[in-house]
């Protein structure tokens, strides 16, 4: 299955997979508004055994077939300070303005 991958102009590390170049017909308008102007990254041939960096190729192909697009969300941000505090048995920092 051939697909085009676009990166978001508004959200870092957010990618939109569509069945072909400029094939945004089934992508909801609300999603496109949040995504911004799509910037083409690559066009590639997907197969179930093809490894993708952060997505399951089978799931991407199912989404392309069933809904006409696949949205790859950014990875969750790491909170190194919270991890550091947890490793040392310290509690969470109090909210600003809390007494």
**Per-residue pLDDT tens over the stretch 32-84:** 999 999 999 999 999 988 888 889 999 999 999 999 999 999 887 777 787 78
The predicted pLDDT at position 83 comes to: 79
Domain 2-87 fold is: NE1680-like fold (3.10.510)
CA 39 distance to own-chain centroid:
14
Which sequence spans correspond to the domains of the chain? 2-87
Q: Is the pTM above the cut of 0.85?
A: no
């Amino acid at each position: 299955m051939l697909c085009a991958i676009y990166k978001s102009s508004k959200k870092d590390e957010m990618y939109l997979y569509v069945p072909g170049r400029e094939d945004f017909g089934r992508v909801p308008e609300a999603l496109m508004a949040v995504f911004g102007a799509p910037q083409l990254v690559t066009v590639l041939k997907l197969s179930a055994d093809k490894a993708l960096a952060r997505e399951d190729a089978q799931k991407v192909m199912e989404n392309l077939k069933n809904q006409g697009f696949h949205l790859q969300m950014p990875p969750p941000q790491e909170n190194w300070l919270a991890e550091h505090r947890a490793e040392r048995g310290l509690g969470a920092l109090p909210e600003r303005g809390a007494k």
